[in-house]
């Protein structure tokens, strides 16, 4: 057995990583991270064809057939999504974890070659497998009869295969399985934080979430990150009339607070791990501790606190940090 250890210098803050992801920052930092893949040997097996799902990657040109140039992206390419999900179904590794690895390793680039590990072996392909690891875990994901390390679809199923074997060997722990992939706690934390972002982004597109105001055409007057009196604006501002009903964006449990800046503030602590925040309210409707459903009126808009006129300041907090709520809100109105 042979293990390649990679260290991800200077990028150990998972919250920052999640923020970057959700902020939509084009994360060029990926290009600076050192590549290699940890490896463990185990039984090799090949998949039968999984059928014709998603776009076909060309093994002749090493690219997607439409000729679209690769560039660093954090959004999961739509043509890969069915493969991430099918790989989850087959191997029991959550699709968002697989997608997070693909983002972290290559920004979904089909055919990168990373730096060598200590044996001089080069990591290859979207999931940055070492060829020696691939020999053991590489599978034919797209059903063309060949397990190709440079085929991104094959690499998705192969990473799932690898993680499933290591998960089984580590008491079912996905964290331990990821640690085998690259023996660094920073790496594991980052992968899981990015994965959580992917999971949430999809959750936000599904039923169970709604816009916080009764409008489909919101007018934003403040953006996340705007400079405000020596701090950074922690949410977005949406203009609305005084007394407009403020709607629960998701079901959850209500909290109240007040502050000189926010005036009357209300929070929804949601099962998705996020706290959704509304402030400057003229009036509370939902009581502290009350369980509310999506779309329920929890308060009325106003201009309490530091505010130049009636509006909703809306924020999302995860693990004590504000994240940009705009991607969430935009997806709700798509
Ligand atoms: Zn604001």
| Separation of first and last alpha carbons in the chain | 49
Whether 226 and 185 map to the same domain: the answer is no
Whether 191 and 225 map to the same domain: the answer is no
| pLDDT for residue 300 | 95
| pLDDT for residue 241 | 94
Q: How many domains does the structure of the chain reveal?
A: 2
Would you say residue 26 lies in a domain?
yes
Whether 184 and 229 map to the same domain: the answer is no
Q: Are 108 and 72 in contact (CB under 8 A)?
A: no
Would you say residue 211 lies in a domain?
no
Distance 273 CA to ligand 1 centre (A): 22
Distance 51 CA to ligand 1 centre (A): 49
| pLDDT for residue 267 | 98
Distance 240 CA to ligand 1 centre (A): 13
200 exposure class (CB count in 10 Å sphere: 0-12, 13-18, 19+): buried
Pseudo-torsion of CA 98, 143, 69, 205, nearest 10°? -40
Distance 18 CA to ligand 1 centre (A): 21
**CATH number for the domain that contains residue 284:** 2.70.70.10
Would you say residue 7 lies in a domain?
no
Distance 150 CA to ligand 1 centre (A): 47
Would you say residue 3 lies in a domain?
no
| pLDDT for residue 291 | 96
Spatial separation of the C-alpha atoms in residues 80 and 74, rounded to whole Å: 13
- Nearest Cα neighbor of 135 from 67, 3, 212, 46 is 46
Q: In terms of DSSP bridges, do strands 297-300 and 245-247 run parallel, antiparallel, or are they unpaired?
A: antiparallel
pTM over 0.75: no
Q: What is the DSSP string of 179-242?
A: HHHS--HHHHHHHHHHHHHHHHHHHHHSTTB--SSS-SS--EEE-TT-EETTEE--SEEEE--T
Would you say residue 214 lies in a domain?
no
pLDDT along the chain (334 residues), means of 10: 36 45 42 32 28 36 38 71 96 94 89 71 91 95 94 96 91 89 86 81 78 93 87 92 95 96 96 93 96 94 95 91 87 83
φ/ψ of residue 116, rounded to 5: -80, 160
**Residues less than 5 Å from ion ligand 1, measured at CB:** 222, 237, 313
């Amino acid at each position: 057995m042979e293990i390649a250890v990679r260290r991800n210098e200077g990028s150990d803050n998972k919250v920052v990583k999640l923020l970057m992801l959700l902020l939509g920052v084009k994360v060029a930092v990926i290009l600076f991270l050192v590549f290699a893949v940890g490896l463990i040997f185990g039984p090799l097996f090949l998949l039968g064809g999984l059928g014709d799902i998603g776009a076909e990657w060309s093994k002749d040109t090493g690219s997607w057939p439409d000729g679209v140039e690769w560039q660093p992206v954090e959004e999961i390419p739509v043509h890969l999504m069915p493969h991430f999900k099918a790989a989850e179904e087959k191997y029991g590794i959550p699709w968002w974890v697989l997608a997070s690895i693909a983002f972290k390793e290559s920004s979904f680039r089909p055919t990168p070659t990373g730096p060598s590990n200590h044996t001089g072996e080069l990591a290859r392909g979207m999931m940055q497998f070492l060829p020696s690891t691939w020999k053991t875990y590489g599978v034919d994901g797209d059903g063309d009869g060949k397990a190709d390390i440079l085929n991104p679809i094959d690499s998705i199923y192969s990473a799932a295969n690898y993680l499933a074997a290591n998960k089984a060997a580590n008491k079912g722990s996905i964290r331990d399985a990821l640690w085998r992939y690259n023996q660094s706690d920073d790496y594991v934390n980052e992968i899981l934080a990015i994965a959580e972002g992917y999971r949430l982004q999809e959750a936000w597109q599904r039923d169970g979430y709604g816009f916080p105001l009764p409008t489909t055409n919101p007018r934003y007057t403040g953006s996340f990150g705007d400079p405000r009196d020596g701090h950074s604006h922690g949410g977005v501002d949406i203009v609305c009339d005084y007394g407009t009903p403020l709607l629960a964006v998701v079901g959850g449990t209500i909290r109240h607070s007040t502050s000189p800046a926010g005036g009357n503030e209300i929070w929804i602590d949601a099962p998705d791990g996020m706290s959704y925040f509304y402030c400057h309210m003229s009036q509370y409707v939902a009581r502290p501790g009350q369980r509310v459903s999506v779309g329920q009126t929890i308060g009325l808009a106003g201009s309490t606190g530091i505010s130049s006129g009636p509006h909703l300041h809306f924020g999302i907090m995860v693990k004590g940090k504000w994240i940009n709520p705009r991607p969430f809100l935009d997806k709700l109105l798509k």
